[in-house]
Amino acid sequence: MLIYAHRGASSDFKEGSKAAYLGAIAQGADGFECDVRLTKDKQIICYHDSDTNRLSNIDLKISKSSYEELKAKVDPYLLEELLELAISNKKDLVIELKHPVPTGALIEKLVHKLLLKRKADIKNSGIKISLISFSYLATLRNLKCGYQAGYLVKNSNLIKLKMSISIDDIIADGGPRTSRQRNVNMFGSVTSNRQSIGNVGIP
């Protein structure tokens, strides 16, 4: 099993922060996991919650705050910065796209755009990129970007169960009709013995 640092080395550092991901590298993680949200000015940040209350005791809604405002208060890590860190250190990256969100499918669109921009660098580094979500529709959108798509479920009995989804299912989202099939992985929650690293295990 590979060990992926859940929001970085989140037992030892502020979760989702640059320090947490640097700590994960120092602790020998095979890859990173992050949660992403859009700020008011459409910047992709690594942040699990929809607001900043739990981690900072400051009451700011991510979707209603600009990146500069959030940076001054809680200093969120940009996905673009984490992707660069992953590429430079040859660490796989698992990106969870949070839903429901006010901007709907825009989060997938902008994440896919960033990955396309860095496609050559990702390929040359040899790292794996996986996009996961508890949203079925987001998972269908993620199937179109060329990287592994994972559908998150709360039932741990469904871990590693694969299901085949027809690309026809994406027609409602504007995709072309085709008879091709692609696989989407379903994951439940996995707790690692290496708590300082994280608790997401991806085979």
Name the residues annotated as catalytic.
Answer: 6, 48
DSSP assignment string, 6-45: ETTTTTTS-TTSHHHHHHHHHTT-SEEEEEEEE-TT--EE
CA dihedral (70, 75, 76, 81) positive or negative? positive
Fill in the DSSP letter of residue 47.
-
Q: What is the C-alpha separation between 160 and 183, in angstroms, rounded?
A: 12
Q: What is the C-alpha separation between 136 and 104, in angstroms, rounded?
A: 13
Secondary structure of residue 121 in the 3-state scheme:
helix
